[in-house]
Chains A and B, each alone.
Chain A
Amino acid sequence: MSGLSVIYWKELADYLGSRKFIILFLIVTLTAGTIIYVIHQSVSSDVNQFTGEYLFLKLFTFSAGTLPSFIFFVSFFGPLIGIIFGFDAVNSERSGGTMSMVLAQPIYRDALINGKFLAGITTIAIMLISIIVIISGLEMTVFGIIPTLQELFRIILFSLLSIVYIGFWMGLGILFSILFRQTATSALVSIMVWIFFSFFILMVANVIADQMAPLGNNASLELIAKNEGIRNMILRVSPLILFQECTTAILNPSVRFFGVTTALKNLEVMPSPLSIGQSVMVVWPQFIILIALILVCFAVSYVVFMRQEIRST
């Protein structure tokens, strides 16, 4: 496995030293800082909207005025970060001619792809964890709130989930960089997929739902529920929505269902926070799908890469 560690460290050094990493990191940090600042501003003006249990977690899900919440930020721009790290992983080396040189060394092919993947995940992990730690630290200094043990576990879970999520997009980028020879093509395709799952899916879901269960001016509650159900089902095709649901449930202990259908059925439930295990159980399917997605994505990349022909042209 010497080949794997060589590739891993070389790739990691490449990623961390690259300008795109520094720029991205700065952007993300700035954004996080801004979010904290804005929250602080709005809390100072109105303390009442910021009370209750699980205050520490609320800071991650809190959206102040025009600025989105941190979850939203990660779910929308996290994919972009992943894509940026992955879209040229293989085809740039190939076009640059370095691939055949690397493979001329006593390094196995699977070590190359595994190393690239692991190094990408590691970079993302470093970036995300440092941002989350920075935000938490800022929160503690600015608001004077210390997370409880359960909040800490929830934050750790959230970090892991975010790594998996962004890792999936990176994996997708790597897959496209293997499939397409041109970096531009793979970049565009990746961006297209991201745009589709982030924006178009919302419109598509609305259109299909309205077609299947059209809502008139005075639609019955059941019809609205049906419409909502269809919409949610389509939306859940998108990893972005899955991630949002997952993180919402994990960072907000009182969330126990999504959509109107179940909400109607369970009005009797008391608005008490769930335990962390139960919160995970609420979004367990989404959780599984996200993990499965990154694994499948990697597996496909691996198979395709291993079967490709490497030429030193």
Chain B
Amino acid sequence: MNRKIKDFLFFKVIILMIISLLPLPSLAQTEQAEKLERDFLIYSQFSNLVLEEGQSVDLEVKFINRGENPEAITVELIADPEAEDWDVALHNESWRGFKVRQLNLLSQDPDNSRALNLHIEAPKEIEEGQDQKSYTFTIKAKTTDGQLTRSLDIVVAAVGKKEEEVKKETDEIILNTKYPVVEAASGKPMKFEIEVKNQTDEDQIMDFAVDLPLGWRATISPRYREDETISAIKINKAGTETIILTVNTPFTAEKDEYELKFIVKAGELEKSLDLKAIVTGTYVMNAGTETGNLKLSTISGEEKDFTFYIWNEGSAAIDNVTFFSTAPQGWEIKFNPEKMVELPSVVQTNQPEKISMTVKVPQNTVPGDYMITVNAAGTQDQKKIEFRTTVQVPTKWGWIGVLIILAILVLLLSIFLKLRRR
């Protein structure tokens, strides 16, 4: 008997141990089970929001009955006392539904939960200093008998909108261009023909704006009347107008591709069009002398130096500039420097390049005017200048002639002196 009792006790202890080992969940379960008699939850997926001014949101707020008995719950929304201009309401789920003050939940699924919409609309304009301020909206729920009370805080911060985002791009204005990429030399105008379509239901006055790189200028003119400049145009509803956007690149614009933006605004509506301008370099070789005088003067048989200048009036450098000349037969013309690897734009250098030219006229050249054609040729451009060269006879022969005459006169004089007075 004792032994039996002992065994029983031992058994009991083990069982108790087992029970005490399993237990916490099961124990909790028992507690829960106890509470499940009367319990409900308020649940929302989001409880801390950021809204922009004027933005509204509908939050789903779920009320779940977790008790065994049906519950009648009164719902109350307590707005932040500082949130004056806010529009807050608790509706049933359907769009723009009715306000709800009480809801009844059964104990069995699916009727044990009900979702309500918490509509929060931020004020249209947020005052200065109110930016980023948080407001708390509390949903208070309690059972009709007042035994159970639950609450949920939704924190909403309001921020001011950014200006660009105010005017959203609209599809009601259509901008179209056939040639969105235009290529031109710097300093030369580029023309974009843009079609503006008004697809709204009313006539619109469209203002134009152009986003340009620094130093560029743009004018907008009606088609076929390009001497006029406009900054706005009225387009009838469902109408289309074509305008010409003329972009003037500065002379100093470097060879590159540039992004331009053409923007049309009509009240709240805004539409932009991306354009591309490709600036090519210009190459304009020019040459001249200091005085602009293209007349040279030299003496036959002699070597003489002349100076002329070349410069690049374009925007990009001209490569491999060499000089060659056409002159009468037997003439020797040399240049210093003989060639130039690169002739940068005069816009950059601010001064022309000095070239000295040595002209050697052969002996016994008949006096008169001759043409020397000098050609300065680079890879991209060339320039021809013609010098009218006056060749004169060296005066040394003249002096020899005078000497001969003088010698004869001296001879004559000596004869006079010797033979006179007889």
| In the complex with contacts A281-B392, A299-B415, A269-B369 CB distance below 8 A | yes
Q: B404 to A288, Cβ gap below 8 A?
A: yes
Q: A108 to B420, Cβ gap below 8 A?
A: yes
Complex CA distance for A284 and B404, rounded to whole angstroms: 12
Size of interface on B: residues with Cβ below 8 Å to A = 30
Stretch at the interface among B31-39, B119-127, B302-310, B406-414: B406-414
Complex CA distance for A285 and B411, rounded to whole angstroms: 20
A263 to chain B, nearest CB (A): 9
Complex CA distance for A296 and B401, rounded to whole angstroms: 15
Complex CA distance for A282 and B394, rounded to whole angstroms: 11
B175 to chain A, nearest CB (A): 62
B302 to chain A, nearest CB (A): 14
Complex CA distance for A243 and B393, rounded to whole angstroms: 20
Complex CA distance for A298 and B409, rounded to whole angstroms: 11
Q: A295 to B408, Cβ gap below 8 A?
A: yes
B16 to chain A, nearest CB (A): 134
| In the complex with contacts A108-B422, A269-B366, A284-B397 CB distance below 8 A | yes
Chain A 256-272 interface residues, beta-carbon cutoff 8 Å to B: 256-257, 262, 265-266, 268-270, 272
Q: B368 to A274, Cβ gap below 8 A?
A: yes
Q: B328 to A266, Cβ gap below 8 A?
A: yes
Which of B366, B404, B421, B422 is close to A256, meaning CB atoms less than 8 Å apart? B366
Q: Is residue A67 within 8 Å, beta carbon to beta carbon, of the partner chain?
A: no
Interface membership of chain A positions 278-313, coded 1 if the CB is closer than 8 angstroms to chain B and 0 otherwise: 100110110110011001101100110011000000
Q: Is residue A109 within 8 Å, beta carbon to beta carbon, of the partner chain?
A: yes
Which of A265, A278, A292, A299 is close to B367, meaning CB atoms less than 8 Å apart? A278
Which A residues are in CB contact (< 8 Å) with B371?
A: 268, 270
Main secondary structure of the interface of A (DSSP, over half): helix
B402 closest partner in A (C-beta): A288
Q: Is residue B329 within 8 Å, beta carbon to beta carbon, of the partner chain?
A: yes
Which of A256, A282, A299 is close to B412, meaning CB atoms less than 8 Å apart? A299
Which B residues are in CB contact (< 8 Å) with A222?
A: none
Which of A284, A303, A306 is close to B422, meaning CB atoms less than 8 Å apart? A306
Q: Is residue A110 within 8 Å, beta carbon to beta carbon, of the partner chain?
A: yes
Which A residues are in CB contact (< 8 Å) with B415?
A: 299, 302-303
Interface membership of chain B positions 174-185, coded 1 if the CB is closer than 8 angstroms to chain A and 0 otherwise: 000000000000
Q: A296 to B419, Cβ gap below 8 A?
A: no
Q: B405 to A288, Cβ gap below 8 A?
A: yes
Interface membership of chain A positions 224-246, coded 1 if the CB is closer than 8 angstroms to chain B and 0 otherwise: 00000000000000000000000
Q: Which of A282, A288, A306 has the largest count of B CB atoms less than 10 A from its CB? A: A288
Q: B393 to A282, Cβ gap below 8 A?
A: yes
Q: Is residue B336 within 8 Å, beta carbon to beta carbon, of the partner chain?
A: no
B295 to chain A, nearest CB (A): 11
Q: Is residue B370 within 8 Å, beta carbon to beta carbon, of the partner chain?
A: yes
Complex CA distance for A266 and B408, rounded to whole angstroms: 35
B330 to chain A, nearest CB (A): 8
Which of B368, B388, B411, B420 is close to A110, meaning CB atoms less than 8 Å apart? B420
Q: Is residue B292 within 8 Å, beta carbon to beta carbon, of the partner chain?
A: no
A268 closest partner in B (C-beta): B328
Which B residues are in CB contact (< 8 Å) with A268?
A: 328-329, 370-371
Q: A292 to B392, Cβ gap below 8 A?
A: no
Which A residues are in CB contact (< 8 Å) with B351?
A: none
Q: B405 to A256, Cβ gap below 8 A?
A: no
| In the complex with contacts A270-B371, A278-B393, A110-B416 CB distance below 8 A | yes
Complex CA distance for A292 and B412, rounded to whole angstroms: 11
Which A residues are in CB contact (< 8 Å) with B328?
A: 266, 268-269
Q: Is residue B398 within 8 Å, beta carbon to beta carbon, of the partner chain?
A: yes
Which A residues are in CB contact (< 8 Å) with B393?
A: 278, 281-282, 284
B392 closest partner in A (C-beta): A278
Q: B369 to A272, Cβ gap below 8 A?
A: yes
Q: A284 to B370, Cβ gap below 8 A?
A: no
Which A residues are in CB contact (< 8 Å) with B380?
A: none
Complex CA distance for A295 and B409, rounded to whole angstroms: 7
B368 closest partner in A (C-beta): A269
B134 to chain A, nearest CB (A): 95
Complex CA distance for A284 and B399, rounded to whole angstroms: 10
Which A residues are in CB contact (< 8 Å) with B369?
A: 269-270, 272
Q: Is residue B365 within 8 Å, beta carbon to beta carbon, of the partner chain?
A: yes
Which B residues are in CB contact (< 8 Å) with A284?
A: 393, 397-398, 401
| In the complex with contacts A108-B421, A110-B419, A266-B366 CB distance below 8 A | yes
Q: B422 to A109, Cβ gap below 8 A?
A: yes
Complex CA distance for A270 and B409, rounded to whole angstroms: 39
Which B residues are in CB contact (< 8 Å) with A281?
A: 367, 392-393, 395, 397-398
Q: B367 to A306, Cβ gap below 8 A?
A: no
Which A residues are in CB contact (< 8 Å) with B367?
A: 256, 274, 278, 281-282
Which A residues are in CB contact (< 8 Å) with B422?
A: 108-110, 306
Complex CA distance for A292 and B328, rounded to whole angstroms: 36
Which A residues are in CB contact (< 8 Å) with B416?
A: 110, 302
Complex CA distance for A285 and B400, rounded to whole angstroms: 10
Interface membership of chain B positions 351-392, coded 1 if the CB is closer than 8 angstroms to chain A and 0 otherwise: 000000000000011111111000000000000000010001
Seed contacts A266-B365, A268-B370; 17 additional CB < 8 Å A-B pairs: A108-B422, A110-B416, A110-B419, A268-B328, A268-B371, A269-B366, A270-B368, A270-B369, A270-B370, A272-B369, A282-B393, A284-B398, A288-B404, A288-B405, A296-B408, A298-B412, A302-B412
**Can you list 26 residue pairs at the A/B interface with Cβ under 8 Å?**
A108-B422, A256-B367, A265-B329, A266-B328, A268-B328, A269-B368, A270-B368, A274-B367, A278-B367, A278-B392, A278-B393, A281-B367, A281-B392, A281-B395, A281-B397, A282-B366, A285-B401, A287-B401, A288-B401, A288-B405, A295-B405, A296-B408, A299-B411, A299-B412, A302-B412, A302-B419
Task: Show the binding face of B for A, using Cβ within 8 Å.
Answer: 328-329, 364-371, 388, 392-393, 395, 397-398, 401-402, 404-405, 408-409, 411-412, 415-416, 419-422
